[in-house]
Amino acid sequence: MGNTFGHLFRITTFGESHGGGVGVIIDGCPPRLEITAEEIQRDLDRRRPGQSHLTTPRQESDRAEILSGIFEDKTLGTPIMILVRNEDARPHAYTAMKDTYRPSHADYTYEAKYGFRNWQGGGRASARETVGRVAAGAVARKLLQVVAGVEVVAWVQRVHEIEAKVEPGQVTLAQVEANPVRCPDPAAAAQMAERIDAARRAGDSLGGVVACVARNVPPGLGEPVFDKLEADLARALLSLPASKGFEIGSGFAGTRTTGSEHNDPFFSGPDGRPRTASNRSGGVQGGISNGEDVVVRVGFKPTATIAKAQQTVNKTGESVTLEARGRHDPCVLPRAVPIVEAMVCLVLADHYLRQRGLDVLERR
């Protein structure tokens, strides 16, 4: 049904935007991993709505309720269930639009697939579904930290035409969290904030790019052919609401270079392990991590639901003018940052466990 992600570290999300709640079931997390509710809550707080005037005014505390799988702040090795109850749902705000197909939203496609849809805020197609991903991502993040010292940091790289000037290897969480846009370039962040606020006042929306770096990723993660690490990262990040593009390393810019310009030369590192002098591969070669930083970017379209008048049709085929109601982000990027981190953590945790299983077999 498309609600489950991962092989060994496996998650299933549940819930709708304006239903009773949303959440996740995590299966395959190893036992005895120390993790507290506060660690999970930290990432949920970064994702939650109502953080600033740049985000949706919907007010949700997004308090995580751990219903199973964790005891005395340690994982049991059994399924972990985390529930977040919806507190500020307003399904009545969508009543007037229930028979209308919102442009570039999932209204028509869900109805075409199932013959029926939840019109209250988009149901499963709503970005509120990502609450479960972020909660699961916090568990995956802790696992990666403990077993390999992996650090995953994402940030807003571009809003509309405003681009941040940063070096991926130097970006810190403190820099990202220093402003509501979550852009580590202060000058660009100020311009981004102004542009987002102008779009909000005009009843419009903006898109852009979130970049992410994973540091200390051990070499050897990823599988040949169909389960390449970058293929799973692409699948994970393109499964996010409003995502429309994925790049790793040099991405599409690399297509404008020659092989001699693009190749990453090897040298012998201090520990004797091969290292690369550049990282145009983005930390992945042949679908397998090479020990360098994994650097990815994901493009997000402008928020589909806007207050400006738009032409569309209703269920009977009549042409109508829609001025959408509801509470929506004028730009999804600031709140997408922890969601991107979560998906990268989930992919890396899954591939780490897959590689560990392979290592056990090889050592027999």
Digit-coded pLDDT (tens) for 149-180: 999 999 999 999 999 999 999 999 999 999 99
The predicted-structure confidence for 275-293, as pLDDT tens digits, reads as follows: 999 999 999 999 999 999 9
pLDDT computed for residue 308 by the predictor = 86
pLDDT tens figures, 317-345: 889 888 776 667 889 999 999 999 999 99
Domain that holds residue 47: 4-362
Torsion angle defined by CA atoms of residues 158, 159, 161 and 167, in that order, rounded to the nearest 10 degrees: -20
pLDDT over 90, % of the chain: 72
Chain segment 19-68, per-residue pLDDT in tens: 889 999 999 999 999 999 999 999 999 998 766 777 776 667 889 999 99
Q: What's the 3-state SS for 221-263? A: CCCCHHHCHHHHHHHHHHCCCCEEEEEECCHHHHHHCCHHHHC
pLDDT tens figures, 249-275: 999 999 999 999 999 999 999 988 999
The crossing angle, in degrees rounded to 10, of helices 333-362 and 130-148 is 50
| Pairwise CA distance, residues 319 & 332, whole Å | 29
- How far is 105 from 346, CA to CA, in rounded Å? 26
Q: Are 346 and 140 in contact (CB under 8 A)?
A: yes
- Compare 90 and 218 and report the one with higher pLDDT: 218
pLDDT above 70 coverage of the chain, percent:
94
| Residue of 276, 288, 281 whose CA lies nearest to 262 | 281
> What's the pLDDT score for residue 353?
97
Q: Tell me if the pTM is above 0.85.
A: yes
Total domains in the chain come to 1
Instruction: Give me the pLDDT at residue 253, please.
Output: 96
Span 75-99, average pLDDT: 82
Q: What is the CATH number of the domain that holds 323?
A: 3.60.150.10
The radius of gyration computed from the CA coordinates of the chain, to the nearest angstrom, equals 21
**pLDDT higher than 70, residue 347:** yes
Nearest-angstrom CA–CA distance, 200 and 56: 10
Count of CB atoms within 10 A of residue 206's CB? 23
